[in-house]
Amino acid sequence: MHTFLLRDVDTASEMMRRCYRIVKESMRSMAGYMVKMQSWPGKKMLAKHIWLDAVHADWLRTRTLELRYPRVDVDEDSDRHLIRVLEKLPNASSDAEFLSLVYTVIKPALLESLRAYLAQSDPLDDAPSHIVLGRILPELEMELHEYEALASTLTAGASSSTTAAAQELTGLLAACGGVFGPDRDPGEAFAAYFGRPDYVVPSEGGREPSWSPAVMQVPPREPRNPIERRVWIAIDHANEVWAAETPAALIWAYKGLAWPLYLNAARWCYDEMRHAMMGEQRLAAMGFEIGVDYPMVPDHWRTYSHRGLGSLLLLLHGLEQKGPLNKSKMKLELTEQHDLEGAQDCDYDWADESGHISFGLAWIKAVFPDWSKERIMAETQEIVTDWVDWIKRYHAEGLHQYDGFMARIEGRVADYMEAYPA
Ligand SMILES: [Fe+2]
Ligand SMILES: [Fe+2]
């Protein structure tokens, strides 16, 4: 006895296409806002969910194509009102408001619709959709649980403007056709929402306001013992946030590129945030407070964002080319010092970096389509050299403003060496 509705392939493919669009465009908005986000727990959560959502979008896109929908990436006109709504999400007035829009309006609406799709579609004829949605649903539920655990810690979590913005978005989503469409013009009632300027990523990534002001992440002297060497490596790791923000910004700033670029950039973003978390974790285990005992500073962005995102992409790609070699050496070095957790961090980081080199080259070709291979190599080398010179100059001229951090680092290292004598 059938309890589901009969649904032809054309209808199913349009529903699946619209789910793909929702996940893809909300992921792009999350990537854009992630750069601005000051909340450290919020930033880490977004990086992880950006990658999960990109994987979900990939599954939905593939299923849409299987359902005889041949133009899923170019035929955006059919969902243009929905896409316009989602592209305005990063205009939120605070971290709490942005997360509220994504996690109390968009994702719950998607969750409810995917459950309804499963309940109403033929489990044999449309079995591959059931498999795909069956993979997505638990991860989407996990994302919502992770948001709920975080939301209560955000200071502006329950403000009236956040509630009003969520109510406006709920009405707007329904007015433009909801999750399954068909796509509709939501009309003049929402003119103010669409009248807001297009979001542009800030010139440097947001950091927790409670963290100490800092100029640069690299300590102004060499480590004097193996424990300091561990700390220096971990500070470098913790500050890879800029490297997570760079692919995130690319995802937002470049619209309409080939889908694999976005999928890979989402993974790249999450990997770099994991590398930052490795440093945070190592330092926390040694008694260091993040952003207070050591700097957490977007110094790469502060130095080069005025040249455009392409320059940050070149710098990241240039630095990553030495990543596998450096991380494999660090793995050996830390193993010899019996820092097995640190060695394992470097081992997995090394594995991630090998993928990033190909992601970076593909993005450089997309951002600079006219550049020859020789020009890419020359421009990459030029900015890496310039960055190394910047670090040397700031150290030599005493511009590093590291003295306060160095006093705290030396104090923490002394405490650690006393607690764990060699
Ligand atoms: Fe990294
Ligand atoms: Fe990397």
Contact 95, 42 (CB under 8 A): yes
Tell me the C-alpha distance between 387 and 381, whole Å: 10
pLDDT score for 4: 66
Tell me the C-alpha distance between 170 and 155, whole Å: 23
Q: Is 47 helix (H, G, I), strand (E, B) or coil?
A: helix
**Angle at CA 121, nearest 5°, toward 116 and 124?**
140
Half-sphere exposure at residue 225, Cβ-oriented, CA atoms within 13 angstroms: 9
* Local confidence band at 341 (pLDDT 50, 70, 90 cut-offs): very high
pLDDT digits (tens, 9 = 90+) for 32-45: 999 999 999 999 99
CA of 141 to the centre of ligand 1 (A): 28
Tell me the C-alpha distance between 73 and 75, whole Å: 6
| Phi and psi angles of residue 173, each rounded to the nearest 5 degrees, phi first | -60, -45
Tell me the C-alpha distance between 275 and 21, whole Å: 30
Tell me the C-alpha distance between 246 and 250, whole Å: 6
CA of 275 to the centre of ligand 1 (A): 5
* Local confidence band at 130 (pLDDT 50, 70, 90 cut-offs): very high
pLDDT score for 158: 59
Element (H, E) at 395: helix 373-396
């605070």: which residue's tokens? 94
Tell me the C-alpha distance between 50 and 54, whole Å: 6
CA of 48 to the centre of ligand 2 (A): 15
Nearest bound ligand to the CA of residue 272 = 1
pLDDT above 90: residue 20: yes
Nearest bound ligand to the CA of residue 356 = 2
**DSSP code per residue over 325-364:** HHHHHHHHHHHHTT-HHHHHHHHHHHHHHHHHHHHHHHHH
* Sign of the dihedral defined by the CA atoms of residues 333, 322, 219, 345, in that order: negative
CA of 191 to the centre of ligand 2 (A): 41
CA of 28 to the centre of ligand 1 (A): 21
* Local confidence band at 111 (pLDDT 50, 70, 90 cut-offs): very high
Q: What mean pLDDT value characterizes the chain?
A: 94
Write out the E strands in 95-157: none
% of the chain at pLDDT higher than 90:
87
**Cis status of the peptide bond prior to 182, with omega within 30 of 0:** yes
* Local confidence band at 301 (pLDDT 50, 70, 90 cut-offs): very high
pLDDT above 80: residue 195: yes
Neighbouring residues of 100: CB distance < 8 A, sequence distance ≥ 6: 92, 151, 157, 162, 163, 165, 166
CA of 321 to the centre of ligand 2 (A): 9
* Local confidence band at 1 (pLDDT 50, 70, 90 cut-offs): low
Tell me the C-alpha distance between 193 and 270, whole Å: 30
What is the average pLDDT across 280-293?
97
pLDDT above 80: residue 15: yes
pLDDT score for 76: 78
């951090």: which residue's tokens? 405
CA of 269 to the centre of ligand 2 (A): 9
Taking a 5 Å cut-off on Cβ, the residues next to ion ligand 1 are 240, 272, 275
* Local confidence band at 156 (pLDDT 50, 70, 90 cut-offs): low
CA of 320 to the centre of ligand 1 (A): 8
pLDDT digits (tens, 9 = 90+) for 374-407: 999 999 999 999 999 999 999 999 999 999 999 9
pLDDT digits (tens, 9 = 90+) for 61-105: 999 999 988 888 877 788 999 999 999 999 999 999 999 999 999
Tell me the C-alpha distance between 38 and 287, whole Å: 23
Tell me the C-alpha distance between 81 and 122, whole Å: 29
CA of 364 to the centre of ligand 2 (A): 15
